[in-house]
Amino acid sequence: MRNIILLMSCSVLAMAGVKDAQRLYNQKNYNGAIAQAKKSTHEYSNPNLHLIWAKSAKALGNDLEAMSAYERVIMLQPNNIEAKKELARTYVALGKHKLAIQITEELKEENVEFEEIKVANENEVGNNFKSKFTLGLGYDNNVNVHNDTGELDTFFGTTTHTNKLSSFFYLGMANIDYLKEFENNIYLRASLNGYYKVVTKESDYSIYLNTLKAGVGYYKSGQYNFYMPLSYSALHYLGEDLLRIQSIDPQIDYMINDNFIVSINGKFEKREFKTDRDRDDKSFALGATLYYKMDKNYLFFDSEYQNYTSDSNNYQDFTDKTTYTFVLGGGYTFANDIQAVATYKLRVSDFEDDIGTILIPNTQVREDTYHQVNLKLTKQISDKMSVFVENEYALNDSNYIPADYSKNSLMIGIHYTY
């Protein structure tokens, strides 16, 4: 008798969860319907609950959340035609045209005509442009990346060194990404990136960096992705066209499961200094990243080994070095589409040269330990626009006095995606 009562109670709870979510949806309280669906964990095996969740997210314009919910509906109820149609529409809205094709092929096998996506297949599938732009205003307390004047004067035995320079700055960033998919899961991807930091007090410390990257890749949906790009960068800094960078950056991503992704990447890089070719170098790097996704939240750990060697006959000090870089970070999304992201970066550099000068000999080999903490808070104000505040603190602990410094920058800005 007790077991019968328990089963009846569970059934009542289950029905209440779906009914309450449906009632809130009918009242156009879409946030309330989603909240009810999320807490109705006892009813997660009911496709109707996830269908209400999906329709509510769609009504709010949250396509990613709607996509996940529709996918759960189909997992629980593979023959739900309407859910498949809505999922295909959502894939198109998100630019996931390859996945939209897969859904339409399934519908064809079930003798279901879906004209809306047929048009998308002919006109849109396989081509995808995305762009993101950032504008910011910030304050940097050490834009010239200097140690204290007293430390520098003592080290060099002179009194001619400038102090740390603090200044406001403007930041502009642009990213344009192009993806072309071919048959057999082969794709072409290219991107153009611009980073422009304009220092108001001293223009020589403004940074202008442009990067063009393009390559081919191959993927197997839900399993792995391989991408082999070539990149070319041009940096204008210290009032001149400082250097050019060419690199090959192979990368393999492997999806362990729905939550874990591991990435292994390499880099072969060559740097050419426009006005001082004696500083030219080349490097090899090998890295790995572990990424863990939890709904809208994530954690990641990144590590990289990189070795630099001089590419000039006239060797310059501190060119040959080995670096070990580790980055730990994560993002958490609060209510009202507010996201907090925190990262900590540690880079240890071992150099081949000692820290002595002609006037002050010292056979101690140079060693640097770089720490960086970045905190960012972002508020989504529409599907395409968000505002943010970001603070970054950096400390380079070095036994070579000119390279020993700390700095902090605070910035507010806006992101726009198209």
**Fold held by 127-417:** Porin (2.40.160)
Q: What is the mean pLDDT of residues 31-42?
A: 88
Average pLDDT, the chain: 86
For the cut 70, the answer to whether the pLDDT of residue 361 exceeds it is no
pLDDT value, residue 9: 42
Q: How confident is the model at residue 161 (pLDDT cuts 50, 70, 90)?
A: low
Q: Distance (Å, rounded) from C-alpha 39 to C-alpha 22?
A: 14
The 10s digit of each residue's pLDDT in 300-353 is: 999 999 999 988 777 777 788 999 999 999 999 987 789 999 999 999 999 888
Residues of the chain with CATH 1.25.40.10: 2-123
In this prediction, residues 52-74 reach a mean pLDDT of: 90
Tens of pLDDT, residue by residue over 277-301, are: 888 999 999 999 999 988 778 999 9
Record: fold of 2-123 = 1.25.40
Q: What pTM was estimated for this model as a whole?
A: 0.71
CATH 2.40.160.40 residue spans of the chain: 127-417
Contact 197, 236 (CB under 8 A): no
Angle between the N-to-C axes of helices 97-109 and 115-123, in degrees from 0 to 180, rounded to the nearest 10: 140
- Structure confidence by residue, pLDDT tens digits, 172-229: 999 999 988 887 889 999 999 999 999 999 899 999 999 999 999 998 877 889 999 9
DSSP per-residue letters across 65-129 = HHHHHHHHHHHH-TT-HHHHHHHHHHHHHTT-HHHHHHHHHHHHHTT---HHHHHHHHHTTTEEE
Q: How far is the C-alpha of 71 from the C-alpha of 53, rounded, in Å?
A: 11
